[in-house]
Amino acid sequence: MGSNLTWHDAAVNVNDYRKKNGHHSGVIWLTGLSGSGKSTIANLVNKQLFEKGLQTYLLDGDNIRQGLNSDLGFSAEDRKENIRRIGEVAKLFADSGSIVLTAFISPYQEDRDQVRKLFNKDEFLEVHVDCPVEECEKRDPKGLYKKARKGEIKGFTGVDAPYEAPASPELRLESGSLDEQACADRLVAFLIEKGWVKG
């Protein structure tokens, strides 16, 4: 970071935005294997919150990699940078008073922990979309597991690259046994319990 930089405090801060919006803000970080249902669940939750009149935004892994992070590959270093950038963007949205949903494999606990450090304790919810790799591979909605098994994709999480499941997430959604709508409903109920959303 350059030494000639100065942080400028804004005249409108996060508490002002929250007061205007009438709700808490922060990030809901959905992590899980490819095919576990992260993006679908995040979309369903985002729609439910939007329909309640809340200020929300959804950051999806595939979409971000087609724009902001189009220069990154899938090495451990690039994955780390991918998550770092997303954390910073999510922080900006949270500071603007939004509830941010993110859907990223984010396979490494260290990277998720680094993102958590950007936020106050009551602003970050790690949600493990927990689905056995066998079920994810059976679903294989994008055909990625098939390609990985053929060797057409190298370093694919769950096949030849590791996934470090959260040891103590704020919420675990058993998407291997529950359908995506049930998982979304459970997450919304959890947000109501936490006081992020009014019932």
Show binding-site residues. 32-39
Task: Answer yes or no: 106 catalytic.
Answer: yes
Q: Of 106, 168, 175, 177, which is the active-site residue?
A: 106
What residues are designated binding site for ATP?
32-39
15, 101 in Cβ contact below 8 A? no
* Cβ partners under 8 Å of residue 197, min gap 6: 23, 24, 49, 52, 54, 99, 188, 191
CA distances to 16, 23, 63, 69, 170 from 121, in Å: 19, 16, 28, 27, 11
Residues designated as active site: 106
